[in-house]
Every structure is written in structure tokens, then in C-alpha cells.
Structure 1
């Protein structure tokens, strides 16, 4: 398969048969793992990479023909009557939701050596982000049961996407703190696998500069969370359990849970299938934005 996909360079420095066979077996074990961790396998990964690199080389813009405009949505002001109405609706609906935290990164950019979810969200109590998130979900769990006058509390599922860098340390933080009061059965860690690095615009796979029998790898993007949820079987479990919502959020956003209930309330009231939560962006501000794209035809 590798030779057929133009990857014969991977074998150019190999020794004769019978020499360093253990390292060669380790190479194919790595290839098998990379092949199984990407939808469609390595062949699909290489094919997609070549198409994207070719488009980039000629300056092809996938958004040609689209006109951006301000998207429709609900503007909420914290604490007003409209906000409170949607917040109450969202708290009621929370028992039908699962929460997914993308937490594959370290805090090096912030001058912190550990995992970002272990950073302090505020200093007075020493509460870290992971504790804040879990306690917020548990509060929603209790409030949802109370508002719907349920006879028993439904456990809200909490999924954390980790990486090689964060998986063990995230588990250690949870276990050493008794999962911050959440049942261990509610929490599921899904580890994001790495993908092969590319060496050039022809999408030739890069070898590790220190090991000719190992392909260089790197963490993939946040979008992996969707394929991980699908391949883990959790989506089917949630569907059969009657859950209606999956809420995705990032690893260091301490104010998020002030807005999540109202956002969920908007989705439930207006019967949205997909909804995004954002703050207003000023013109030319150096941050991403959400926009509506309308095609010319």
C-alpha cells in the first residue's frame, strides 16, 4: 500500500533482510496503527493531503463564489428577562445533554508545565478548570432534576478528549481528587491519536530524523473529537438513552458555564440542530468569527 501511494522513499535506507528485523516490525506496527486511526486509512489520508496541498499551491479558495454576511441568531444580555427565560429552559434540558471537553494541549504557551485543565480558574479557592467544569455540570444535573420535578437525578455524561501529552496526567488529576464529586462512570476519556507528518507538497510521509524505521507524527486537530465519539460507540449509547444534545467546549474558558444553560435553552426552544456560542467581534479584530456564507447561484 505504501509503495502504491508513492511512499517508497520510506524504505530507501533500510538494511538487508535479516538485519534489524525487530525495528522493521516496529515500523509496520506503527503503520498499522496510523492506518487504523484515520477514517479511510493512510491511503485516504495521503489522498486528501495531496488534494489540499495542490489546491493551496495554485491558490484555490474553497470559498470562491460565496458572500459573507452577519448570521442570524439570538443576542443574549446576561441577567435580563430574555436571558433568564432561556436559561431556565436550558437547565431543564440539561438532563438530556452530554458534555464533551477538548483537552489535548499543555500549558507551555502560558508558561505552565502541566496540562491546561489543571490550571487555576481562580486563585482564592485554588479551583482548577477541570474542577470548575465538573462542579458546573453537577450543578446543572441537580438543577435540571429539580426544575423538571424528576423522581431521580440523571447522570450527565462527561467526555474528555485527551492526547499522548495529557491522557495520563488528566487521569491522575481526576483520580487523586475523587473525580471532584462526579461518579467515575460518568467520565469517559477518549485519547486522540497522532497522524503522520508530511515531508513535501507531494504528501510524502516524513521519517523521524533520529530513526529511519519510524514515521514522524504530530497531534491532529480538534475535529478528531467527532470521529472519536463515533468510533467509540458513545453516540449510539447516548441515542438509545434518549439524549438530545452534545455540548462541545474548550479547555480554559472559565466563564463558559455562565452562558451554556441559556444557549442550550435557545437551541431547545427554537429546535436548532446545531448552535454556536460566541461573543460579538469588532471589525478587524484578530480573532476568528462566525459568518453566514451565501453562494452566488
Structure 2
């Protein structure tokens, strides 16, 4: 198994000794290789660098697959997405056979899916992949976004909320007949280079939030060089190539290169749930979603939420030229966006993407076979770079280059059996993207949505909320927070609160505290 104290990582070559014969030969080989690739300018300042910087630059260039970078640039610039070119594009709604909605399903069907999912969890067949490479820059924090405190009464950061949901789910699954002696849901956490040290330190400082550290692994998101529009790799200094993360779609290569896929195989995991760190309502390893996809015999699946309106600016899961894909709102014309499905009165293109996916391990292993066919997306940016004439680093006032990235949903067209599962937005989707005080997808809305959900937990269990005079309600929402260690999704509360009242504000950390609070 992978040790959590020596987290997964893609190995990088050791710096070369610039004074040795071998290094001199390696320099010549690298120089010839980069000149042949049209990227010889990366060694422009080499002779002027101190030996340590020479060694560092050579190590970076040796590790970089420059031929692959050139292929990616060519593909991105000459074979753009059909949606952005003059190619004929045919959009079609999701086929009925691949789509179900928890909003329309019967309680019996939901319970059936949940039973199938719990069975897989109880047999240690399910793992989770967290995409957590982002920093909280927009939130006014330089820390990894998962460290962010959304100002709940408990002051729990996102990482702790998610960890405690895993702990509770393991506990629930362990009670099933025939469950493994120790039910484990391994957690694979993708960081970026800048966020990895802080993420690992945060977990260690907090004792992995109660999880066994042997079942928490970290791996790094890949990077790609920044490039000029004519295909030249940019440099951030005389001795370092300018790079940027390769997008959340880089998770597939990172899982493979880090050894995470091998670890999954060793553990005999068959199903994976993947999600982004910024959704405070995410149901990690959701048994209902897992069970639904397993019953569908899907190799890949996506959770969606119903679009609030035809004009809501979210990507939509649908068919594009007969293959599954996510089409951005800006790429759908007004008539198509407003089209109604006569069978149910809902939008025909209303399956809003929330970056919440199911995979079989077999599918994740198969990605390598079609990776060369995946789309690369261009983000035009202002990129600090070295002026090759003056040697000075310049901060451009206008866009001067591009960052290349893949999206996590770019694999959808290559699935053999795809499943889409619509969930209740109120219960499962509240993204944290914007600065405090903006009023949309911000810390305040995340806090509000969790508290509102916990109110529903109490009320759905037959309890009554009594608002206390000292409850400083946010946006009129009474303050009730229930630890995930008490309830994963509202289960187990009815026997305590049915027919009784509970006074706010209240933070419930244990079932015993809840029993003492009701009256």
C-alpha cells in the first residue's frame, strides 16, 4: 500500500552536474533535441547562468517531453473543438436509457440504488478521488481551497467536512451483513505543485481528521509549458520554463503516473467517485449514485443538476455529434437552450454539469489508450516572461500567450456505457468560487446552504425548530449544524427528534448531544 507519509508523486530527475562529462554530453543531447523541436531558445541564457541554475534548467528540460508539448500545441491550434470551428455540429438531448433523476424516482427505486451502492462500499470496492489543486485566491486566501473555513458554527474547513462524511459512510457500511471486518474508502487527493506541501501539512496537523493516514494519499496534478501563439515555449526566468497546471483533465495522467491506479488495483477497488473540493454539499462516495451507475453497468457516469433557467450559464451534459460531452452555455444557441422535452416539460438541454463523476477502474486504466485523441483547450492569458533581448522579466499589459489544459469531462466521448444521474441541487451542489460578500457561490452561500440542509434533516425526521432569541441568523436561516459524524444525509435522526423540538442556535457533534437538546 502507499504510505500517506510519503505521498504519491511523479518522480522528477535529479539535477545534473554541469561540470561532468556525462552532463556535458547530456547538455549536447538536450540542445540537439530542443533545436530539432524548434525550442532551442530555451537554452539562450545557459552560458550566462551559475552552475546550479544550469543544472536546474537541464533537469527541467530533460524531464519535459518537448515533442509531446509540440503535438499538443499543434492539436489545440489546428484542430480546435468543433463547437469553436466551422465544422458541422449536431446537438441532441440525453437518451432516456442513460438518464434518471432522483427528483422523479420512487422511494423504492432510490432505496434499491442505495442498497447496491452500500454493498459495494461494504466490500471495499469503492474509492474517492478529490480534485483539490486550487488555491483560495479569489477568497482572499493563499492556502489550498480545502483548508478554507466557510464560517460554520463548528469552524470546520472543507477538508474536515469531507473527511467526516467518509468516516460516517464507512461506519454505516460496516453494519451491513457480510461487510468486511474493516470497511475502508481510500481517499486519493490531487494537489498542484504549489498546494501540495500545505495540503499534506494541514492533514498531518489535524491527524487526518480521524481517518487512517494509510488510506489517504496525495498526488500532484501535471503541468504544461506556457506558449506563445506561434508555438514557442515561454520562460518565467533565464533558468526556468514557464508552466501552468494542465487542467482538471490532467487527473487521468496524474493518477497513472503517480502510482494511484496501481494502488487501486492492489486494493481491489472497482469503482471510483471523483469530485471537486469546492462543493460543500458533495455526498462523497454517494451510495445512491454508486448503486445507480453499477446497476446501469456504466463505465463512466456524471451527476447533474436541473438548470434553473434556459439562460443559466452552466455547461450542459448532452450528445454532441452522437457522443456524450459537456457543451458550454455560450456554445448553445438561444432556440436550443429554450427547447422543451414534451415528455416531462423540462428543458431538453437542462442537465447542468457539476464536476461529479463515477468511473470504473477499468475505464480509468483505458484512458491511456485514447489520451492522444483528447481535446486540449486554449486559455489566452497575460503571462510573465523573459525578454530574450534584454533578459528582463516583463509583465505584459495585454494577452501574450496561452495556457493549455484538458477538462475532466473530455473523456466522456470515449465511454462505452455512460450514465447521467440528476440530483437535487439544494441537497448536493453549492460551489465555493467567489469572494466573500459577492452573494453568489461564495462563503456565505455555502454556509447558508449547509445550515438550510441541516434544518431539513431535522424537519424531515419529524422534528420542530424553535428559533432562539440569541440566534444571529444568516439571511434568516436558523443556525443548526449537524456533524457528518452524526448523520451522512439525514439518516438516524428520526428516532431522536420525531415529535420533539430543538432550539437554535445549536451545534450537534454527537447523537448524545442531540438527545440532550430535544424537548
Both structures adopt the same fold (TM-score exceeding 0.5): yes
Confirm whether residue 265 of structure 1 aligns to residue 299 of structure 2.
no
What are the residue-to-residue correspondences of 1:30-41 with 2, within 5 Å? 30-33=60-63, 35=64, 41=65
Alignment correspondent of 2:184: 155
Confirm whether residue 49 of structure 1 aligns to residue 73 of structure 2.
yes
Alignment correspondent of 1:90: 117
Deviation at 1:183, TM superposition (A): 0.6
1:134 to 150, 156, 163: 163
2:240 to 214, 217, 225: 214
Alignment correspondent of 2:133: 104
Q: 1:272 to 1:28 in 2, by over 3 A?
A: same
Deviation at 1:50, TM superposition (A): 1.8
Q: 1:6 to 1:73 in 2, by over 3 A?
A: same
Alignment correspondent of 1:172: 201
Deviation at 1:161, TM superposition (A): 0.5
Q: Distance in 2 between matches of 1:258 and 1:47?
A: 37
Q: Distance in 2 between matches of 1:27 and 1:203?
A: 20
Name which one, 1 or 2, has greater alpha-carbon Rg.
2
Alignment correspondent of 1:5: 37
Question: 1:102·1:161 contact (CA, 8 Å) conserved in 2?
Answer: yes
Alignment correspondent of 2:312: 285
Cα shift readout 1:61-92 (whole Å, capped 9, x = no counterpart): 39734333234311003996133332232222
Q: Distance in 1 between matches of 2:104 and 2:139?
A: 29
Confirm whether residue 144 of structure 1 aligns to residue 173 of structure 2.
yes
Normalized per residue, the structure richer in helix is: 1
Deviation at 1:26, TM superposition (A): 1.9
Aligned length: 285
How big is the alpha-carbon RMSD for the aligned residues of Structure 1 and Structure 2? Answer: 2.7
Q: Which has the higher contact order (CA 8 A, sep 6+)?
A: 1
Q: What residue ranges of structure 2 are gaps of 5+ in the alignment?
A: 1-32, 324-519
Cα shift readout 1:208-264 (whole Å, capped 9, x = no counterpart): 2xx223211112211121112112233233224322101111011121117822111
Q: Distance in 1 between matches of 2:136 and 2:313?
A: 21
Q: What residue ranges of structure 1 are gaps of 5+ in the alignment?
A: 36-40
Q: Distance in 1 between matches of 2:62 and 2:202?
A: 32
Q: Where do 4+ consecutive residues of structure 1 move more than 6 Å?
A: 57-60
Deviation at 1:25, TM superposition (A): 2.4
